Amino acid sequence: MEATQAPRTVGRLAQWAAASADGPARDGGYFDAYAAVGLLAVVGVLFVTVAFTANRLMRPVVPTPEKLLAYECGVDPVGEGWAQTHIRYYVYAFLYVIFAVDAIYLFPWATVFAAPGYGAGTLVEMFVFIGFLAVGLLYAWKKGVLAWT
């Protein structure tokens, strides 16, 4: 199974490479550029694998119970490693999710807002949008969410 698939994959890669010979992002399909990115990711994974394998061959392995104990602060650990902690800033996480999802909308808008046919009206619309964000931030600030509790 794998033996028959490998050449096909290579063939497809070659096809893509041929298609993207001149202007990778323009002449080929939109996603062709990402094939090179994928190839780089594969190269990266290979690099890490080779590094770890070489490391395995070169290093000594002499485990002792003391060595395998968690280091923590240098003193023998007390209690469980996954201790309960009060995560004080979880409210920031909510804020972040709301704001980041909104911020994503800015990017497609940013590429067209100054184009002919858009202009001032589009800008005002975005100001309304950013205004909502700002009011939300002010509200959170006023509520004391941004202060350390």
Partner 1 sequence: MTLLDALLRCVAVLAVFLVFPLVIGQTEHKVMAHMQGRLGPMYAGGFHGWAQLVADGVKFAQKEDVVPAEADRRVFQLAPAVALLPYLVVLIAIPVGPHGLVGQAVDAGLFFVLAVMGVGVLGSLMAGWASANKFSLLGGIRTAAQLMSYELPMLLAAASVAMAAGTLSLSGIVDAFHWWWVPWQVVGGFVFFTAGLAELQRPPFDMPVADSEIIFGAYTEYTGLRFALFLLSEYAGILVLCALTTVLFLGGWHGPFSDGLGWLWTLLKTFALAFVVIWLRVTYPRLREDQLMRFAWTVLIPLSLAQLALTGVVKVVIS
Q: Binding to partner 1 (CB under 8 A): which residues in 112-141?
A: 112-115, 119-120, 123, 126-127, 130, 133-134, 137, 141
CB 99 within 8 A of CB 133: yes
Q: Tell me how crowded residue 35 is: count the other CB atoms within 10 A of its CB.
A: 19
Task: Indicate which single residue of 6, 44, 132, 144 sits in contact with partner 1 (rule: CB under 8 A).
Answer: 44
In the complex, the smallest distance separating the C-beta of residue 86 from partner 1, rounded to whole angstroms, is 10
Nearer to partner 1 by C-beta: 1 or 63? 63
9 touching partner 1, by CB under 8 A: no
CA torsion, ordered 80, 82, 88, 93, to nearest 10 deg: 180
83 token code pair:
């201790």
The HSE-up count of residue 131 (CA atoms within 13 Å, CB side) is 6
In the complex, the smallest distance separating the C-beta of residue 68 from partner 1, rounded to whole angstroms, is 4
In the complex, the smallest distance separating the C-beta of residue 90 from partner 1, rounded to whole angstroms, is 9
What gap in Å lies between CA 121 and CA 114, rounded to an integer?
Answer: 10
5 touching partner 1, by CB under 8 A: no
Pick from 29, 11, 10: nearest CA to 20: 29
In the complex, the smallest distance separating the C-beta of residue 6 from partner 1, rounded to whole angstroms, is 14
Nearer to partner 1 by C-beta: 6 or 69? 69
Q: What is the DSSP letter of 70?
A: -
**Under rule CB under 8 A, which residues in 62-121 are in contact with partner 1?**
62-63, 65, 67-73, 77, 80-83, 85, 87, 89, 92-93, 95-96, 99-100, 103-104, 106-107, 110-115, 119-120
What single-letter amino acid sits at 21? A
127 token code pair:
């100001």
